[in-house]
Structure 1
Amino acid sequence: MITDTRTFSILLAAGGSLAILLGAFAFQYLGGLAPCQLCLWQRWPHAAAVLIGLLALLVTRGPIARFLPLLGALAALATAAIGAFHVGVEQKWWEGLASCTAGSISGLSTADLLNPDVNVGAVVRCDEIAWQMLGISMAGWNVILSALLAMIWVSAYRRSRA
């Protein structure tokens, strides 16, 4: 049984990021929903939060131990910010990135584009909602859940020993 609230908070926050990552991979590999560029960018801070959580569980004393939960909160806020931008693109509040709306054809000649053997790759558009639940897209759920995870990280920071 975990009696240390700092440890519990870190496990909850890092485990939450891990669960979000596993969910994203399940949608991709089991559900067949290819991620767009912004979706991929939202994964990296979650991966960082998982690693920060592992390190925070190993380092329990000293200034580094106190600082690590703040890094976890920063990672959660970073993915929430990317997700918020993505929601704005999905809702057509602002323009998305060129990598989300155009094919990866830069550097290809006209002959390459006409050659069926050259794999140009399909573009997954960031401005189209591939899946939603309760009227909220995956990017929207990432914003909500990541904001909650950031609060848990801050709670762990407050419980950290100096």
Structure 2
Amino acid sequence: MTLTPSARLTQKIALGTPALLIAGAYISEYGFGLFPCEMCWWQRYPHFAAIALGLLSYAIEPKRLLIALAALAVLASGLIGGFHAGVEYGWWEGLTSCTSAVDASGDPMAAILNAPMVRCDAPQWTLMGISLAGFNFLISSASAIAALYLLVRRDRT
């Protein structure tokens, strides 16, 4: 089945958005030491699914269904990011779980005790008052809505 031009664009959005956001997350983590909290990880999981679905849409049928599922996964990540941003801004209470990065190559107990504690309610970095979770909400939600719109609209011939 050949895709319409808008469906091909949607395919690129549904794969490119999560790939770029995951790349940015790992660059911020390993390049700048911004370790993810529990809710940050929750935002990554739908992006991983979207990347897999987006790649599959290039290889197998039903392409449009896979593209739509990828776009919905991107939207799910955006909504989780919106919830996380609300916790960071103090709009509502979040969950009490936190994570920390642990290097288990040496003494595991020392690694646990020396690992940085990452709180979900305190952003590690902001730009113009918007945290990384807030940017994920804005970028993912807008991309997913645009992708779904492009997928359902009729191309003019």
Q: CA deviation at 1:118?
A: 7.2
Mean CA deviation greater in 146-155 or 29-38 = 146-155
What is the one-letter code of the residue matched to 1:148? A
1:131–1:137 contact (8 Å) kept in structure 2 = yes
TM-score by length of 1: 0.77
Gaps (5+ residues) in structure 1? 104-115
* Aligned counterpart, 2:93: 95
Q: Measured at CA, do residues 95 and 152 of structure 1 come closer, stay the same or move farther in structure 2, by a change above 3 Å?
A: same
Counterpart of 1:58, as a letter, is A
Q: 1:26 and 1:117, CA in 2 relative to 1: closer, same or farther beyond 3 A?
A: closer
* Contact 1:37-1:126 at 8 Å conserved across structures: yes
Which residue of the partner structure matches residue 32 of structure 1?
A: 33
Instruction: Please name the residue that 1:11 is paired with.
Output: 12
CA distance in 2, matches of 1:5, 1:130: 37
Query: Which has more radius of gyration?
Result: 1
Q: Secondary structure at the match of 1:30?
A: helix
Partner of 2:136: 142
Distance change in 2, residues 1:33/1:49 (3 Å): same
TM-score where L is the length of structure 2: 0.79
Aligned to 1:70: 68
Q: Structure 2 stretches of 5 or more lacking a match?
A: 101-108
Contact 1:9 1:156 in 2 (8 A): yes
Q: 1:93 to 1:159 in 2, by over 3 A?
A: closer
1:81 alignment counterpart: 79
Cα contact 1:7–1:57 (8 A) shared by 2: no
Could you tell me which residue of structure 2 aligns to residue 109 of structure 1? none
- Alpha-carbon distance in 2 for matches of 1:78, 1:159: 21
- CA distance, structure 2, for counterparts of residue 66 and residue 13 of structure 1: 11
Structure 1 131/4 Cα, relative in aligned 2: closer, same or farther at 3 Å? same
> Which deviations, in whole Å up to 9, do the C-alpha atoms of 1:59-88 show, x marking residues without a partner?
35xxx3232222112201211111111011
What is the alpha-carbon distance in structure 2 between the residues aligned to residue 44 and residue 54 of structure 1? 16
RMSD: 2.3
Residue 126 of structure 2 corresponds to 132
Partner-residue secondary structure (3-state), 2:112? coil
CA deviation profile, 1:14-64 (whole Å, cap 9, x unmatched): 11110000000000000011111101110111111111111112235xxx3
Shift of 1:127: 0.6
